[in-house]
Each structure stands twice: as C-alpha cells, then as structure tokens.
Amino acid sequence: MSVLTVLLVALPLAGCLAVLGVPERVAVWFGVVLTGATLVVAVVVAAVFDYHRSGTVQLSVDGSWIPSIGLRFHLGVDGISLPLVVLTALLCALSAVYLSRPAGAPERPRAFTALLLLTEVGMIGTFVSLDLLLFFVFFEVVLVPMYAIIAGWGGGPGRTAAARQFILYTLLGSGVLLVGLLVIYSQTSTLDMVALAQRAGTGIGHTVQVIAFLLVAGGLAVKVPMWPLHSWLPDAHTEAPTVGSVLLAGVLLKMGTYGMVRIAVPMLPEGARVLAPALGALGVVGIIYAALACLAQRNLKRLIAFSSVGHMGFVLLGIATLTPVGINAALFGNIAHGLITGLLFFLAGGVAQRYGGTDLDRLGGGMLATVPRLGSLLVVAAVASLGLPGLAGFWGEMLAMLSAFRPGGDLNRGLYLTFMVVAGLGAVLTAAYFLVMLRKVAQGTASPRWAGTVIADVTAREWVAWAPLVVLFVAAGLWPGLVLGVTDGAVRGLLGGG
Amino acid sequence: MIQNVDYLAIAPPLVLALAGLAMLLLDAFLPRSGWTHAGALAGVLVAGAMEVWLAFDGPHRTFCVGETCSYVVDTFTVLFQSVMLIAGLVVVLIARAEVRGTRLPAGEFYFLLLAALAGALTLAAGRDLITLVVALEVVSLPLFALVALRRYDGRSTEAGLKMFLVSVISTAVMLFGVSLVYGATGTLFLEPISAALRRPEMPHGVAAAGAVLVLVGFGFKVSAVPFHFWAPDTYQGAPIAVAAFLSVASKAAGFAGLALVLTVAFGPLANVWGPLVAALAALTMTAGNLVALRQRTAMRLLAWSSIAQAGYMLAPLGAAAGVTGDPALRDLVAATVGYLAIYSVMNLGVFAIVAFAGWIGRHGGGLIEDYRGLFRTHPVTALALAFFLACLAGLPPGLAGLFAKIVVFRGTLTGGYGWLGVIMAVNTVLGLYYYLAWASRLFAPDPAVHFGRVPRYVTAAILVAAAGTLLVSVAPQIVLGVAPGG
C-alpha cells in the first residue's frame, strides 16, 4: 500500500517530464489527467487511511538515498498531513480543470502544465516527507516553478519584480530554515521527523532549542507569511496568474505553518515555550495590520492577498498557544483558508477575465444583477472568509481564539487574553472590509461603463472547478469533525498526549 | 637506494605529460590543429581510462621512504583526479572552436594545457610538501602562458602578467611557510608533520606561523578574498577554455592541496588555522557575491561567482576548530571535497555554453544581455544553461547544487559555526539574484544576438557536463564522504 505515497509524488513528477513530449494543444488536457490521477491517489490514500490510528504514520516508505549526509527517502502520511495532501491534490486538479476552459488556456501551455505539475511535486512532497532534509528539498522544489509561473504568465507589468521578490525573500527564509534544521541534526544526529517528534527535544539544551526554534520558525515565517515578513505576498499574489495565486494562497502558505506544527513545536518544545508569545503577538499584529490594509485596498486581488496575511495570523495564534485545541485550530484554519481563498482567487481571476481587471472602482457595483451566479459565489466565498458561523472560515478562527483563552503550560495567560481580544477585534475588522468590498462590487447598480458589454456568467467548466470548493467549505463548516477528527489524534500524539 | 616505481599509480599524469609533448612535436612537423586536437583528446581519454582502472584497483602508493610515501592514490586522489580529468575533457572539447576561431597556436595550446592538467593530477596524489609545491608550480607555469596566448590582445598579456606576479608571490610565501614547518618538525611528509606537531616539545609558534603562510599561499591559488585580485581580470583576458580550466581544474588543484595540507599535516593546529579559514570563507563569499551582483559581462560574473563559491567551499574547513578528533575533521574535509566536485561539473556546464557563445565584440562569452532570448533560437542549450545556473544557485531543479549546499551547511554547523551558516544563508540569496538575472534573460521574447549552430565538440562538452551534473543530482553519494587517507 505504501506505493501510494510514492505515487503521490511520482505521478506529477513523471507527468512534468512527460508533458514536455506532448503536442501543445493537448498539454492542458494532459495536465488535467495527471493532476486528476494524483487526486484519485490522494483520495484512495484517504480511504485506506486508518482513522483510529491517525497519530501514527501510515503508508510509510523508508529507503536510503544519500547516507553520507543521512538523507533518507522517508515518506508517510498521518492525521496532520493527510488533509493537506488531499487539499493540495484537489486544488491542483481544479487548477488544471480551470486551465482547460476554452478561452482560458495559457500561452505556451506545455511549459505551464509542466511547471504546475512540478509545483505539485514540491507541495505534496513537503507534506509527506518524514526526513528533515527531504522536507527541505521538497520545500525548495516549489520555488523555481512558482517563480517561473509568476514571471512568465503573470498579468501586470510588475510581474518580473514581484516574482524576483518572491523567490529571493523565500530563499532567505529557507536558508535560515536549513541552518535551523541542521542545528537540530547536529544535536540529535538524526533527521527522522517521527523519532525527533517522539524525543520532544530531549538531548537538546535549552539555549540551543531557543536558537533552533528562532531559526526554524523564523525561516518558515517568511513562507507563512508572518507580519512583518509578509511584504512579498501582496505583490506576488497580485501579479501571478489566477492558477498561481490559487496555489500560492491555497497551498504554499500552508507549507510554512505545517512546518511549524510538524517540526518547530514538537521537536523544540522548550524553544517553543520561550518564543510562542512572540509568535502569537506577531500573529495578532498581522491580523489587525492585514485588516487595516484591506480596508484601504482598491484592488480585489490585492485585497484577497492581504486577507491571507490576516487569516494566517489566526493560524499562528493557534500554534502559539501550544495546546491541542490551538494546533487543531491552526490545521483547520489551514484547510479552510485553502478552500475559501482558493475559491476567492479563482473568482478574482474570473472577474479579471470578464472585466479586464480587478480594480474595485472600475468594476463598479451590481455584480449580483449583471452576473448573478458569479456574484453569488463571490458573496458566499467572502462571507465564508470573514468567518460566518456555519461555514469553514468560522471554526479555525473561533477555535484559535478559544485556545488563546486557555493557553498551554506556563504561558502568560494575561498576555494571551490580550491576544484573544485583539484577534476578536481583527475578526470584526475582517468582516468590515469584506462587507465593504461586497457592497462596492456585488450590490448596488451596474456601472454605466459596462452598459454596452455582454458579460458572461459562470460557465460549465468554471462550475466544475469551483463547485467542489464551495461544497467542501460548507461541509467542513457544518461538520468540522470532518477535519478535526482526522487531525486531533495526531496533534495529541505530537504534543505528548497533552 | 633503489626505488620501485608503481607505473600504474602515476599513469594518468604520465600519459598526459607524454601526450602534451607529443602534440608539441606533432604540431611542429604537421601543423594541422584538427590533428593536434584529436591527439590531446585521445591523451585525456587514455588518462581517464587509466583513472577508471585505478579507481577499481584499490589504493596505490609509490615513491616511498620506509612507510611514508610521496605519491598516494586513494579514494581522495581518485575523486580529485577524476574531477580534473572531466574538467580537462570539457576544456579540450570547447577549445577546438576557439583555437581555430581566435588563431591560437594549437601545438603550444594543447601542450601547455595537458602539462597543467598533469600537474593538477600529481598534486592530488602528492603527500609531501615538496611534491605539492612542485606540482602546484607545474599547474601554474603553463597557465601564465596560456592566459597570455591571445598575443594580439593587450588585455590578454596584462592578464597573464597579473596572474604571474600574484602567483610568484604566493609561491614565495608558501615556500617560506614550508621552510618554517620543516624547521620546526624536521620532516616534509604530511603525516609525519602531523605526528611531530603532537609532540609536546614542539616549537608551536614557528609551526603555526609556517602553517598560516602555507594557507596564505593556497589562498592565492583558490582566489580567496583578499588574495583574489588577479581572478576577474585574468578570466576576462584569457581564452574562454583557459578561464574554464582556471575556474575548475586549477581551483580543484588548490583545494586538493589545501585539504591535504590543512588536515593531514596541520590537523593538530586546527585551532590556529580554523578561525582564520572561517573568516576567509565569510569574507570570500560575501565579497564575491556582492561584486558579482554588479557584473555585466558573462566572464567577469563567472569569475566573481567562482570566488564566492570558493567561500562556500572554505566554510566547512573553517569550522575545524569546533570539532575534536580526526574522524570529525575528515567529515569536514569531505564536505569541502564534495562541494568542490559538484561545483566543478556544474560550472563546467556553464563554461561550455559560454564557450559556444564565444567572443562577442571584445568580451569572451559576451554580455549577460547578449543571452536574451536564447531560448527562442536554441531551446535545449538555453534550458541546459538555466539548469546549470539553478545548480550553481543551489535550487531545485538543480538538485546537485542543493545537495552541495546542504553538505557545506551541515559541515559548518557540525563545527558549531552557526554565524557562518547564517552568513551563508544570506549569501545564497545574493547568489540567486545574479544567477536568476542571467537565467531569466534566456527566456525573454526578443533574441539579442543571433548565435549560429552549436559546434559538435561543444555539444559533446555540454553533454558531458550535463551527464555529470545529473549523475551527482541523483546519486551525490559518489562524491560525498571522501577525505584524504580514506
């Protein structure tokens, strides 16, 4: 069965190479088939996964690769990685479907599909790696294809600069991360993530743990992105083509928080205890900062990009409490944000395609009247994102705040209560900017600018790409156990039964 | 005393030296550059075949006095000699078009090149200070002439002279260091030096001063900052093939010597030279990368980037003061050696493609701007260049470079040099900036210069480098974990 885990990585990799040999006109369909097949594998993995033992690594593969640096080809899934793997495979498949729209094929489709598949290799590989260096290798695999997607297929004139900023910024983060990972290795002489998590920091001195946590979490924080390391994100998301934004927001950001949950917190518990308050503080600053920035945005895509910073702030707050509830909230928030913001970026892409841009003032109002289905989807996605109870966005944020009410261990409760209050304020501001956006775009009357033009509503292919996301975030909102039931066992295992 | 020479052990450098002489004579009587080229190629290939034989034959030792030998072929030697032979092969392959195109005297060119290569191979096997110094001079002397071989170009002469002066000074400094070490320890063999240094009655100050001077001498050869001035001008003035040789084979020779001397001989003095090398490493990578950011010609960019890369290679050695015991020290050297081997194949790839671009105006390899849109006219070549640059930047899909980076980071952190690791992390970002600037130009829509067909031999050179890089991407194991005495 463990061949399934290898297939998750091998299928897109093989596809990435094979697609270079197919004619340009079938390349996109080739991508649909490959990402679809990967999604099928991911679903099969989810089906054979034993949910009663979600804390143990399943379907694992462990082979030697480069013994002299201790790098092993060690893959596996558990309750923490499984939802993210499925989310990644889903978003990649939906992206490929979205690309297959009659009017939506990218220029040079063969190269684009190859890059999409390579990105998928890196993303899924990051989530299934159980070896610190292998994790790092997959973590890095994503950079170049994502750079190329933004620089080669981006929309605006600033795309080259945005892409360069993205890759340099995140490379700096991963360089620091590598130093941190090797500090862990130099203290423990093992790269096995399962063993390291079980060890829970024994054998690593207090000071070293603090330094290593600073390096690992600091390196990952660029990817998350945590305020004030977020400045690459708005430009990259805004300039990237739709599919690029969807994957950036939907999956890439999760690699950072996943790394924190998987590596930083369990392997360096003492370091985590010292630095968690700082992590939480920066998280809530990010929430407020992003909300204020969103209120000032005049561009739909940029607004969604900044909202990501805020949502990831909630995720960071959850992690910073160091409690099972908080970490479950973080993992749930990851999934919810992936589904909702993925859809929001798809919709922004749809809007850009129809209106030739996403400038809010230029769009004018009345989308609900002119394109009722697209407008409704935008409303649904926006209210899901602002955390309306009953939709997925609610649980991640609510649980994160709840966990801040009762932070773990010897963390300063007063401080965390402050975090909770500030985060609550941020949630209100989040609601405010989304509602302002909806009032500007969805409601009201159509701008006379568009009077003569016929604007098409959601097409069949778009429904195929978007509907699964709506279904899933409604389902996860009504029945949060769908995700929490999977993650909870693993989280408790990771935190030593906590 | 009768010496029994193990001819198989010395076969690779011997074959190269004989082939070089033969080419000089051949060219004198039959001046056709095609023949000379074929002869040189055959010489490198035969030497390579000998090397393969040696690799499977187990260790060889020759020129021994009692138990200590001056010439040892172990895994360390085999790895270095293989890297140098691959470099020699690629350089000979890319030289063909350039020798013809820029009217270089073929006989002299191949003779000097093979002589330098023979010296480099000998250096990797040398296990006493005299052999090392002599071998280093055998590498350097032909190179002065090679660099200045474009006689009609004033910059070429200037480059040759600059390199000559710097090199002579460094040799003098190194010899002075050697004499101090000999005075203190009473031996020139590397292992006995190490044993002597462990004795308590050793005059430590003298030996340490000697070790530092030898280190400075090698610092010139590997163009570590602040001994790097000669490199950019020399690369720019030299024929492209010679610059490739300088950047790979000559640098490998310098590092082979450095690794041997520092660890086998001066291992007990690690707390003296370790911090010094760490400082050199930090300075070298930072200065190299910062200046590389501002370069506009391919050759100067490669010169500065190869200075920066030397900084990464020095980093694990710099951490030597933080470890105790020979096995730990050997791990650090193995990191340097591994990085060097991986760097060599990928850097050769870049040089092979730059050689294809050839002399554009007054610049060997042209401006970075000249590579705009190469993908439109030569998609495979452009992809290969982008791949090699990704390797140098240490980013997937350039897995080889990523593994090399991990190896040196790991070595550095084993010694507890976290600050050096962080400096390296920042430097990889600087490096990515200019590699990326070059690579992204390849995919621009409007070609700047019309390049012709890729010559057959250059294609072969690119293929050799690409095959080597792919091999170390998938199985870096083959070049990792190799240290002197292993």
Residue range A19-35, pLDDT digits in tens? 988 888 888 999 999 99
DSSP letter at B268 equals G
A184 contacts A132 by C-beta, under 8 angstroms: yes
- Determine, for residues A136 and B406 on separate chains, whether the beta-carbon distance falls below 8 Å: yes
% of chain A surpassing 70 pLDDT: 99
Closest by alpha carbon to B36, among B102, B133, B114, B101?
B114
Regarding beta strands B359-360 and B363-364, do their DSSP bridges make them parallel or antiparallel, or are they unpaired?
A: antiparallel
B375 contacts B383 by C-beta, under 8 angstroms: yes
B25 touches chain A (CB under 8 A): no
Whether residue A104 has pLDDT greater than 80: no
Q: What angle do CA A16, A22, A27 make, to 5 degrees?
A: 70
Integer Cα distance of A162 and A141 in angstroms: 19
B258 contacts B215 by C-beta, under 8 angstroms: yes
Integer Cα distance of B297 and B437 in angstroms: 12
Amino acid present at B319: A
B414 touches chain A (CB under 8 A): yes
% of chain B surpassing 90 pLDDT: 56
Q: Across A124-128, A372-376, B236-240, which has the greatest mean pLDDT? A: A124-128
A190 contacts A259 by C-beta, under 8 angstroms: no
Residues 6+ apart with CB under 8 A from A418: none
> Mean per-residue pLDDT for B150-154?
84
Using CA atoms, how far residue A108 sits from A11, A24, A28, A150, B341, in Å, is: 22, 7, 10, 14, 36
Integer Cα distance of A65 and B345 in angstroms: 21
pLDDT band of B365, cuts 50, 70, 90: confident
Integer Cα distance of A22 and B91 in angstroms: 36
Closest by alpha carbon to B429, among B231, B292, B226, B279?
B292
Q: Which residues pair with A75 in a beta bridge?
A: A61, A129
For chain B, the residue count is 486
Integer Cα distance of A401 and A421 in angstroms: 8
| Residue B407 C-alpha, separation from nearest chain A C-alpha, in angstroms | 7
Crossing angle for the helix pair B154-185 and B230-237, nearest 10 degrees? Answer: 140
The three-state secondary structure class of B5 is coil
Tokens of A383: 């209210």
Residues 6+ apart with CB under 8 A from B266: B193, B194, B197, B211, B214, B273
Residues of chain B neighbouring A211 (CB-CB closer than 8 A) = 418
Q: A23 in the Ramachandran plot: left (φ > 0), alpha (ψ -120 to 50) or beta?
A: beta
Predicted local distance difference test score (pLDDT) of residue A281: 94
Residues of chain B neighbouring A147 (CB-CB closer than 8 A) = 436
B436 touches chain A (CB under 8 A): yes
Closest by alpha carbon to B486, among B189, B119, B136, B58?
B58
For chain A, the residue count is 498
Whether residue B209 has pLDDT greater than 70: yes
| Residue B350 C-alpha, separation from nearest chain A C-alpha, in angstroms | 19
Integer Cα distance of B233 and B223 in angstroms: 12
B486 touches chain A (CB under 8 A): no
pLDDT band of B80, cuts 50, 70, 90: very high
| Residue B472 C-alpha, separation from nearest chain A C-alpha, in angstroms | 11
B344 contacts B331 by C-beta, under 8 angstroms: no
Nearest chain B residue to A139, by CA? B396
Closest by alpha carbon to A186, among A208, A170, A164?
A208
Integer Cα distance of A283 and A315 in angstroms: 8
B115 contacts B142 by C-beta, under 8 angstroms: yes
Closest by alpha carbon to A181, among A146, A147, A138?
A138
Tokens of A378: 């935008």
Predicted local distance difference test score (pLDDT) of residue A482: 87
Amino acid present at B9: A
Nearest chain A residue to B444, by CA? A152
A256 touches chain B (CB under 8 A): no
Is residue A225 reached through a cis peptide bond, with omega within 30 degrees of 0 on the bond before it? yes
Residues of chain A neighbouring B414 (CB-CB closer than 8 A) = 186
Nearest chain B residue to A187, by CA? B414
Q: Which residues pair with A131 in a beta bridge?
A: A192
Q: What angle do CA B197, B198, B204 make, to 5 degrees?
A: 45
Query: Which of the residues A112, A178, A181, A222 would you substitute to probe the B interface, choosing the one with the greatest number of B C-beta atoms within 10 Å?
Result: A178
Integer Cα distance of B153 and A79 in angstroms: 68
- Report the b/e string of B140-173 with b at 16+ CB within 10 A: bbbbbbbbbbbeebebbbbbbbbbbebbeebbeb
Integer Cα distance of B307 and B223 in angstroms: 6
The full set of domain ranges for chain A reads 3-494
Q: Kindly report the pTM of this predicted structure.
A: 0.92
| Residue A63 C-alpha, separation from nearest chain B C-alpha, in angstroms | 14
The three-state secondary structure class of B73 is strand
Stretch 193-252 of chain A: residues touching chain B, C-beta under 8 Å: 211
What ranges in A19-79 are assigned the alpha helix state H?
24-48
- Report the b/e string of A358-386 with b at 16+ CB within 10 A: bebeebbbbbbebbeebbbbbbbbbbbbb
Closest by alpha carbon to B451, among B390, B352, B372, B350?
B372
A187 touches chain B (CB under 8 A): no
State the average pLDDT for chain A.
Answer: 90
Cα radius of gyration rounded to whole Å, chain B: 21
State the average pLDDT for chain B.
Answer: 90
The full set of domain ranges for chain B reads 11-478
Tokens of A17: 């190479």
> Mean per-residue pLDDT for B466-473?
93
Q: How far apart are the first and last CA of chain B?
A: 29
Neighbours of B179 (CB within 10 A): 13
Q: What is the pLDDT of residues A441-498, one digit of tens each?
A: 888 888 787 777 788 888 888 899 999 999 999 999 999 888 888 888 888 888 864 4
Which phi and psi angles does A79 have, rounded to 5°? -65, -25
Q: Which residues pair with B360 in a beta bridge?
A: B363
Predicted local distance difference test score (pLDDT) of residue A497: 47
Predicted local distance difference test score (pLDDT) of residue B34: 84
Predicted local distance difference test score (pLDDT) of residue A1: 66
ipTM confidence score: 0.89
Whether residue A409 has pLDDT greater than 90: no
Residues of chain A neighbouring B443 (CB-CB closer than 8 A) = 152
Q: What is the pLDDT of residues A133-180, one digit of tens each?
A: 999 999 999 999 999 999 989 877 889 999 999 999 999 999 999 999
Closest by alpha carbon to A32, among A4, A5, A12, A6?
A12
Q: A357 in the Ramachandran plot: left (φ > 0), alpha (ψ -120 to 50) or beta?
A: left
A71 contacts A235 by C-beta, under 8 angstroms: no
- Determine, for residues B413 and A182 on separate chains, whether the beta-carbon distance falls below 8 Å: yes
B127 contacts B69 by C-beta, under 8 angstroms: yes
Q: How far is CA A106 from the centre of its chain?
A: 23
B194 contacts B268 by C-beta, under 8 angstroms: yes
The three-state secondary structure class of A231 is coil
